Structure formats: structure tokens, C-alpha cells
Amino acid sequence: MSPTASPSATRVLVLNSGSSSLKYQLLDMGDGTRLAAGLVERIGEESSRVVHTPLGPDAGEKRERTAEVADHDAALKAVAEELSKDGVGLDSPELAAVGHRVVHGGLRFSEPTVVTDEVLAEIERLVPVAPLHNPANITGIRTATALRPDLPQVAVFDTAFHTTMPEYAARYAIDTETADAHRVRRYGFHGTSHAYVSARTAKLLNRDPSEVNVIVLHLGNGASASAVAGGRCVDTSMGLTPLEGLVMGTRSGDVDPAVVFHLSRNAGMSNDDVDALLNKKSGLVGLCGDNDMREIRRRIDAGDERARLAFDVYVHRLKKYIGAYYAVLGRVDAVVFTAGVGENAAEVRAAAVAGLEELGLAVDAGLNAVRSGEARLISPEYARVAVAVVPTDEELEIARQTYALVRGDRGADAGE
């Protein structure tokens, strides 16, 4: 029998486990408060870093220390120690569940899922299509299970929101037998963010999510766009892996696949070399040497041509996706920017919709320039299509989905 949450328990620990890092947040879904957030970095190295921020009603100072954290097990113990200092330890009966970000859920997982041995085996079976992420996510789940075997562990998949894509958007036009044998299709990523932001945008517009069509532009170091019709994803820019689509911090996004053969035949590069080139040495970094949009802006202001070109390539791709998803949706109610670049870089937002007035899209310069952590509209009143900035909150969304699942009321809207 799988573990069940105690009826009075309202806290959810959210874990985002990377290959050498563990990010976490503790949320109370009873009253919607965030109790703590932090991360353990450089796990397995000599000097790991533990950063913990207490956020509850009696929040204290942020604490940072270096320590030797050998593995994820030790990392979670370090997290438990920090939380205990704040009186919100992981041994508390108030903890209802642990929600895990899992990057790849393939076609099988379209909903958050309580982890069983069978579910874990399926996540493991997906490692070939998510070699960097799923193994770390599995480690996180195993570690948390060992610490609190009595608690439900819930997997919330980055791909889940995109499983509603119609088959014609998910299929690559390649030989069907080969594609099916190797599970080659478009899955999409950042789904938790796209789900949260599209729903939050409907709320900002005072409309029911089932009524609105939204283009979500998640522009962080990784970047993806999605077309969401009535709350359901109908297309997204990332594909088999997070490499496809927009120009990103270090990833190329769309390229002619023949680039790979060309480099392998003519530059003597191996598969791994080209993989590293397209994932780690491309995008903004490849174009101008920097992946931080703030630095790129500084360089542009100082007259740097390479930085200018990098910005223009980035924005051009973004604009093409806005146009493509406008056509896919037919009617668009809002274009919404989120994540590090989308939430902060007013110039990117302005440039991405510049010249699209015929599509009903415009940005009000004054509203766009306002710096704020709130969800807000930045389009002028006359514009037919709303343009919005909505800070993403993947942890809250994971906690909500986890809590709703263990309470048996999926769709509940705790918090906010």
C-alpha cells in the first residue's frame, strides 16, 4: 500500500534535484505561506554550498555555509538540519508529501503521480530521452523516500502539460517505424511553468482559463514558447529534448539538422562534440560570449556589434514563434512573458512585439518599464491582444498539484 498523507498535514516539500544540486522549498498549502527556500550546490565536490532562506511568519536571515556534501542523501540531510533550526523540520507530522520536479514523463505521465516502484521504473525507462535530468530526479526521489518512507512522494512532470498537444504537432515528419521504436517525438518541457503562467494570465484577465488563448514565452536561461488554447497546450517549441525552438542562453534552438552531419563530416567532430556545441556553446553564449541578458544590454549600450547581433537573433526567433503560434491559435487573447529574461528584460519584450500592431499587439512603453514582481499588463488599453508579464512559480505549482493529489481533490487552488 502506498503511504497516505495525514488529514491534518498541510505542508509540502518541493524538491528539484539536479546532477550536482538540490533546490527546495517548503510551502504550507493550508494558508498558502512559503516557509523556507534554498539550495545545496556542488554536491560531491570538496566545498559544497548550502544556502537557506527562512520565509515563514518569523523569518530570519538567509544562511549560507560551505560544507562537504558527498551525495544527495547528505544534501537532503543538510536541508533537514536547516529546516529543523527554523522549527519546520522534515520529521514534522505537518508534512503532507514531497513533490518532485521530474523532467521527462514521456507519453505515460500526463498528470502528477504518486511514486511507486513501478512508476520509478518507468521514469528510469525514460533516461535515454532525458540522460541529464531523469537520473538526478530519480536520486532525489530515492533520497526523500529513504528519509520519510511514510510520506507520499509525488512526481510532477515537466512534460505533462504538453501531452495534450495534437498528434500533428507532436510528430516529427520522419519514418514512423523508426520514430516509434525510439520514442522520437516532440514532448516539450517547462510544462509546470507554462501551466502556471497560462492559468495565472487568465486570472489577470478576469476570465476563465477555458475561454482564453494564450502564447506563453518562458525566457530563462532555457527558453520555450507554448500555444495554450482554453487551458490546454496545443503546441510548444521544445521537442524530443530541450534543444529545439527559441535561442537560449547556451542552446542553439532550431537549426537545420544537417548542421550535425556537416560538422561531423567536415570538422571531425564526434556526436558528443556536436551535442556539447549545440547545448552548451551556442545560443547567446555562442553568438557573443555572454548568456546574461543584462551583460548583453550593457555591451550593446557600449556599441558592441556582436552583442547587438546576438540580441537581434534572439528577438527575431522569438518573433517568429509569436507569429507561428498566433496562426496555430487563430485568436490570441494574451501574449505573456515569464522567467528571468521575460520578467526583467523590458527591451526584449518591446522588441519581440515591435511591428506587430496589425496583429493587435503593442507594448505601452511606460508600463513596460515598470519593475515589479507582480503579474501585470504592459499593453496599452486600445490593444486587441493583452501583453502581460507573469512571474513564474514552478514550486508553488508543484506544491499545489502535489497537495491536490494527496488530498484527492485534483484541481484545488490552494495558496496564492
Residue nearest to ligand AMP (CB): 340
Catalytic option among 28, 86, 158, 235: 158
Give the CA radius of gyration of the chain: 22
Q: How far is the CB of 290 from ligand AMP (least distance, A)?
A: 9
Q: Which of residues 210-229 bind ligand AMP (CB under 6 A)?
A: 220-221
- What pairs with residue 36 in β-bridges? 26, 54
Q: How far is the CB of 182 from ligand AMP (least distance, A)?
A: 30
Are residues 158 and 103 in contact, defined by beta-carbon separation less than 8 angstroms? Answer: yes
Residue closer to ligand AMP, measured from CB, 99 or 340: 340
With binding defined as CB under 6 A, does residue 291 bind ligand AMP?
Answer: yes
Per-residue exposure over 19-39, b if at least 16 CB sit within 10 Å of its own CB, e if not: ebbbbbbbbbbeeeebbbbbb
158 is catalytic: yes
Between the alpha carbon of residue 81 and those of residues 89, 403, 411, the distances in Å are 7, 24, 33
With binding defined as CB under 6 A, does residue 341 bind ligand AMP?
Answer: yes
Stretch that binds ligand AMP, among 57-65, 271-279, 289-297, 317-325 (CB under 6 A): 289-297
Please tell me the total number of residues recorded for the chain in this structure: 416
What single DSSP character describes residue 244? S
With binding defined as CB under 6 A, does residue 340 bind ligand AMP?
Answer: yes
> Does 341 count as an annotated binding residue?
yes
With binding defined as CB under 6 A, does residue 283 bind ligand AMP?
Answer: no
Between the alpha carbon of residue 259 and those of residues 52, 59, 157, 172, the distances in Å are 44, 52, 31, 18
Sheet holding 63-67, edge to edge: 63-67, 48-54, 33-41, 22-28, 11-17, 95-102, 153-157, 113-114
Stretch that binds ligand AMP, among 40-48, 142-150, 272-280, 336-344 (CB under 6 A): 336-344
Between the alpha carbon of residue 197 and those of residues 43, 161, 286, the distances in Å are 31, 12, 29
With binding defined as CB under 6 A, does residue 294 bind ligand AMP?
Answer: yes
Choose which of 277, 289, 344, 364 interacts with ligand AMP (CB under 6 A): 344
With binding defined as CB under 6 A, does residue 339 bind ligand AMP?
Answer: yes
With binding defined as CB under 6 A, does residue 143 bind ligand AMP?
Answer: no
Binding site for ligand AMP (CB under 6 A): 220-221, 249, 291-294, 339-341, 344-345
Known binding residues for ATP? 23, 218-222, 292-294, 340-344
Annotated binding-site positions for Mg(2+): 16, 394
List active site positions: 158
